[in-house]
Amino acid sequence: MYSKSLKYHCLSIYNHSVRVAQMAEELARKYNGEPEAAYQAGLLHDISGIIPNHQRIEFARSIGIPILPEECLFPMIIHQKLSKYIADEVFMVTNPNVLSAIECHTTLKSRASLLDYLLFVADKIEWDQKGVPPYINSVFTSFDQSLEKAAFAYIHYLM
Ligand SMILES: [Fe+2]
Ligand SMILES: [Fe+2]
């Protein structure tokens, strides 16, 4: 993972991914999840960042991934599906829960699993921008109620 990040000049993605993996592992312990699976999902969730944004739709088509109209309009979000593909095909991840969490870490999905939520929230806490996320206080406050509320606090901020 580290050598691939260096090869593709994506050290910032690597650093973000390690932080997300550690946070996902910590949250998994807090919410009785699977720490090892959470760590693995965190490490690989943004691995498709090695593919430039403008090439993602074309790459997705070339490997037969169905593309939604929203993904055509905003290609950044398809990176979750591409990361799942790479985790599966290149890193040989076999745990379907890990692959599911990677595949929906940007958008979540209906009937999300505990691991889906863990990775989604960890990714938002350890975001890939500079400084402190503007929604962080409401996410942390919502933890007292539930992991789902913490996820919603971020979505509410976006809305
Ligand atoms: Fe991502
Ligand atoms: Fe991320």
User: Digits of tens for pLDDT over the chain (159 positions)?
Assistant: 666 655 666 789 999 999 999 999 999 999 999 999 999 999 999 999 999 989 999 999 999 999 999 999 998 999 999 999 999 999 999 999 999 999 999 999 999 999 999 999 999 999 988 999 999 999 999 998 999 999 999 999 999
- Which CATH number goes with the domain that contains 100? 1.10.3210.10
How many domains, in total, are found in the chain?
A: 1
Whether 147 is covered by a domain: the verdict is: no
Whether 110 is covered by a domain: the verdict is: yes
End-to-end CA separation in angstroms for the chain: 34
Query: How far does residue 46's CA lie from ligand 1's centre (Å)?
Result: 5
Three-state SS annotation for 24-58? HHHHHHHCCCCHHHHHHHHHHCCHHHHCCHHHHHH
Residues with CB under 5 Å of ion ligand 1 are 46
Query: How far does residue 3's CA lie from ligand 2's centre (Å)?
Result: 18
Whether 154 is covered by a domain: the verdict is: no
Query: How far does residue 55's CA lie from ligand 2's centre (Å)?
Result: 19
Residue 119 · residue 105 · CB < 8 Å: yes
Query: How far does residue 123's CA lie from ligand 2's centre (Å)?
Result: 5
Ligand located closest to 77 CA:
1
Ligand located closest to 16 CA:
2
